[in-house]
């Protein structure tokens, strides 16, 4: 099973970008750890990051025949992008939304996610570890929905 890990704008700056909010772990560190976790689950990850909304949508379109699901941190596009939400709906890829900080404890404009209504779940506020939780949950969700699988 292949899982896509999609990161949005400014996440390429993790480790140096506002460490008091986002921590000191880099995106490369997160991706390396996710590769380890995926192996332990009998899966693999394909990681991508883009700062542009269209690039994220193009990646989802390309992945629709390649991955079983997606872990996504859409960054600020979480709160603004109907186009990204539509791309998830159009590709029918199951996904878990993840955020390093607790978006509900931040500025009011960050409290609402446009992706959440079409996500299978959300992990927020656990820092880099949240990606691991999202990956584990997504793999479990997919496996339990396979033909002949028992309920989670």
Residues assigned a catalytic role: 22, 99
Vertex 22 angle, CA 17 and 25, to 5°: 85
CB 43 within 8 A of CB 142: no
Sign of torsion, CA 34 102 119 109?
A: negative
Q: Which helix (H) or strand (E) holds 96?
A: strand 95-99
Sign of torsion, CA 141 146 147 149?
A: negative
């Amino acid at each position: 099973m292949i899982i896509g890990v999609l990161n949005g704008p400014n996440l390429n700056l993790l480790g140096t970008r506002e460490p008091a909010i986002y921590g000191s772990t880099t995106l490369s560190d997160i991706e390396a750890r996710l590769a380890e976790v995926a192996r332990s689950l009998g899966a693999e990850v394909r990681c991508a990051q883009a700062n542009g909304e269209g690039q994220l949508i193009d990646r989802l379109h390309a992945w629709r025949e390649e991955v079983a699901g997606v872990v996504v941190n859409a960054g600020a596009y979480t709160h603004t992008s109907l186009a990204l939400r539509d791309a998830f709906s159009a590709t029918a890829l199951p996904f878990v939304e993840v955020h390093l900080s607790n978006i509900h404890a931040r500025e009011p404009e960050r409290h609402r996610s446009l992706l959440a209504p079409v996500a299978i779940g959300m992990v927020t506020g656990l820092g880099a570890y949240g990606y691991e939780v999202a990956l584990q949950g997504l793999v479990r969700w997919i496996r339990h929905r396979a033909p002949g699988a028992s309920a989670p």
